[in-house]
Structure 1
Amino acid sequence: MEVRETHYLYPSALYASRTPTTVSTILGSCVAVCLWDKELRIGGINHYMLPLWNGNGLASPKFGNIAIEKLIERMLQLGSQKKNLVAKVFGGGEVIETKSHFHIGTRNIEMAETMLRELGIAIVAKSVGGPNGRKLEYDTDTGAVRQRMIQKTI
């Protein structure tokens, strides 16, 4: 049996590789964008916490606009052409019961959808929003994503 690389993706991080890897992560209000190059059969994924970097402090992949840009850059460094990339978007749940009206999950989803549309990268699948978190496993060589919903416990 072939031994497969595995990688756990922490919040504010991204991962892309030519080596077939199963990347796992857990999302609440965070969003993960999975990019896959259908020609080279390589993929990458990010995990961001907030939608927009406001220009203060470090331009970190903690922010959606930076995380998506950096992931595309990394895919291009691996030899991808933007025209061959497709995206899958996950997360953005409203998992925290709060009186605030920040709606971080919804804003994170909107950031991914808007940026990918503006960059001409098709979203071929998505599972976003709702009250629950998600556990993802993404295979970078096939573009396949397995998702398990995480039920709230009281």
Structure 2
Amino acid sequence: MNLTAADWQADRRDAAAGAEPRKIHVIQGEFHVCDDADVVLTTILGSCVAACVRDPVAGVGGMNHFLLPGESGGEGLRYGVQSMELLVNALLRRGARRDRLEVKLFGGARLIDGLTDVGSQNAEFAERFVRDEGLQAAGGSLRGRRARRIQYWPVSGRARQVLLEAANSRVFAAERPRAAAPPPPEQSGALELF
């Protein structure tokens, strides 16, 4: 997602006025709802997904950050279905109406080859949830191969994404399949315990 002209102008006005928004970082398994125009919600995503949801009339919005799609049986906010339901319900309690909710979805990257593509599963779940619940999709950025930093102003609905450098491949080198393993030694039937 590129910075729009309106976002750029807003940044310049904020900088000129010396205004620094209050930042609230949303980590895995959390959500936050706010009606303060001076707050920006932030998170960093890899394969996780964050939903940025707001009601423009009520002037309230929020962000969640979930790790797994978990459409059934998963417990806690790290699973998408619980995280999405709790975020939407918290917005409704603050005066939002379901028919006015706008949703921007971010994350769901595939950062490591050779492992299950949880990011794609998270992205598919989030898109399906928005569609099935009749919520208005208002943009975002899903999938891809890079992590991202997200900033979301919950009252205005403004969002900014910064793509992060590719993960260091050496970190996960031990997890990748190696060349064919040597054949196991012949079994003599003896057992040795240590």
Residue in 2 that maps onto 1:16 = 33
Residue in 2 that maps onto 1:34 = 52
User: Superposed, which structure 2 residues align to 1:32-71 within 5 Å?
Assistant: 32-52=50-70, 54-55=72-73, 59-71=75-87
| Alpha-carbon offset, residue 151 of structure 1 | 1.5
Residue in 2 that maps onto 1:103 = 117
In the alignment, residue 63 of structure 1 is paired with which amino acid?
Y
In the alignment, residue 141 of structure 2 is paired with which amino acid?
S
Is 2:110 the partner of 1:91?
no
| Alpha-carbon offset, residue 37 of structure 1 | 0.5
| Alpha-carbon offset, residue 96 of structure 1 | 2.2
Is 2:146 the partner of 1:127?
no
CA distance in 2, matches of 1:126, 1:4: 21
Structure with larger Rg: 2
Give TM-score scaled by structure 1 length. Answer: 0.91
| Alpha-carbon offset, residue 108 of structure 1 | 0.3
Give TM-score scaled by structure 2 length. Answer: 0.73
| Alpha-carbon offset, residue 55 of structure 1 | 2.0
Cα deviation 1:79-103 (Å, max 9, x = unaligned) = 1010110100000000123x23x21
CA distance in 2, matches of 1:153, 1:115: 29
SS at match of 2:58: coil
Cα deviation 1:25-74 (Å, max 9, x = unaligned) = 00000000000111112210100000015426xx2110011111110000
State percent identity of aligned pairs.
28
Residue in 1 that maps onto 2:131 = 117
Which has more helix, going by share of residues? 2
In the alignment, residue 152 of structure 2 is paired with which amino acid?
Y
CA distance in 1, matches of 2:48, 2:89: 21
With 10-19 and 24-33 compared, the bigger mean Cα shift is at 10-19
SS at match of 2:162: strand
Residue in 1 that maps onto 2:88 = 72
| Alpha-carbon offset, residue 141 of structure 1 | 1.3
* Backbone CA RMSD of aligned residues: 1.4
Gaps of 5+ in 1: none
How many residue pairs match? The answer is 150
SS at match of 1:137: strand
Residue in 2 that maps onto 1:140 = 154
- Are the counterparts in 1 of residues 111 and 167 from structure 2 also a CA contact under 8 Å? no
Which has more strand, going by share of residues? 1
